[in-house]
Structure 1
Amino acid sequence: MEESLEQFFVLVGLLVCLACLAKCVRFCKCVLLSFWKVLPRSFLQSMGQWAVVTGAGDGIGKAYSLELAKHGLNVVLISRTLEKLHVLAREIEQTTGSRVKVIQADFTRDDIYESIREELQGLEIGILVNNVGMLPNLLPGRFLSVPGEIQSLVHCNVTSVVKMTQLVLKPMEARRRGLILNISSGVALCPWPLYTLYSASKAFVCTFSKALQAEYRAKGIIIQVLTPYAVSTPMTKYLNTNMVTKRADEFVKESLNYVTIGDDTCGCLAHEVLAGFLSLIPAWAFYSCPFQRFLLTRYTDYLRQNAGIK
């Protein structure tokens, strides 16, 4: 009996060591890739002629559209505000020479996908960036204080990822190549009190992406979920940038270095470090009343000061 227990604890110890080693290797890869670009410039082009970006009018979506065009891809811009899309389309065409197609769609609705499918017909789509998303309120708050946009948020954060993936995945499977980047959030890595609905919707994106990658990895398709923390965009009220809060363009450039690193990534080295630190906080402390008071007071004051919220 004692011998069996000893073997059991040795096995558990080995598994813990292997898990720690895997995390160290992953972190070392992130450090390497943040300073040394080893991904061939032609890699993204090899996925296909066109990249599709949802939520392309602002922030991270706009940055992905510009960066992918600089890598030689034609870009389909999908968002709600047509004027912003036309301005971005002109900028991409004038600065990169890439072709641009504009599709106006409101992702808070669920009756838009047949129209999008018709617009995408005949295009060799090699990359899909599921970026569109809604944050009910930048400031933390309890669930019942969330504005009455619950169904809109579910359509925008959840339905859009499923439906857009469904539209492009079959042709990718037939060609045996393709890249799908699903933009989630750092608050999806564990349940975040006071960001409950947003955290849960982004957790769906993580689970969906990882399971789908397991299904289609053998088909030559890369499906990666990104879990960034603070990025200065219109959705985050243009938070002041610092070592942790990134500009959208610098986040996107760095994240594209990591497309072959694994099924999930925070997208930049600073956020990988932050995620590692937060994972050390015990669950009981994370869900405690004092932590929630911290979010409602100190953290709220920080957001008001750095985002100019009155």
Structure 2
Amino acid sequence: MISKAQFDIEIQGIISNAIREDVGDGDHSSLACIPKSAQGKAKLLVKDEGIIAGVEFAKQVFQYVDSNLKVETLIEDGAMVKHNDVVFYVEGASQSILKAERLVLNAMQRMSAIATKTKKYVDLLEGTGTKILDTRKTTPGIRALEKWAVKIGGGENHRFALYDMIMLKDNHIDFAGDIGAAITKTQEYLKANNRDLKIIVEARDLDEIKEILKYPGVYRILIDNFNYEDTRTAVKLIGDQCQTESSGGINEQTLRKYAECGVDYISSGALTHSVYNMDLSLKAV
């Protein structure tokens, strides 16, 4: 996984690019009718129900736009919220509040939706010992926000990107020639380039599970698109040799059944690619 320093760089990049995109050479609506000296206060109002996420991100946005803005937090990231809850107040230059408004709302609405869905999945897995993972199926440019939201909802992050973990999927295996070639070449590459990256290998059937197990050094086997019976068999075959992960169209109806097969992890792209934004507003007070 990426370091905190790398993650912080990603967040700052998201903020600077989003403000560039949204503000350009100036918020002319505010500049036209609100004096530069005007001071104001606004509240983040919840108009929905779920897990709030993005409070700490919002603070960073306000700080980036205007270091003199003051935020009073009433509800922290990860808390359950309901209609008419006030999450925080922000106070300072009215122009600055308005400049930051849309980025704060866009990010928090999406992050809260992801955190809410993740929490639902986490609750469905309670007592099984299986953990929920996100994927790289994220919105281009804001992956750090979406993976942050998964963590807030109680899930765990898979690899952040292509550079922080090796995942040998079906196309890698087919292009390399076979499973053995893919694993061997990968291990040689890592050694030659002095890189310490964990290796995950995808299996499409039980025969491929058996083939992967011939090669030591695999961190996790991705049991992809297996039925329940074959998943249970795969888990028994793998034993303690490495970690196990199920994936492939697993939804709220099938999630717990796959967990009960004994896998360590279940990964779900739906956590980030299939959510409806939480309804939030930033209102002047």
> TM-score when scaled to structure 1?
0.25
Decide which structure has greater strand share. 2
Q: Which has the larger radius of gyration?
A: 2
Q: Which has the higher contact order (CA 8 A, sep 6+)?
A: 2
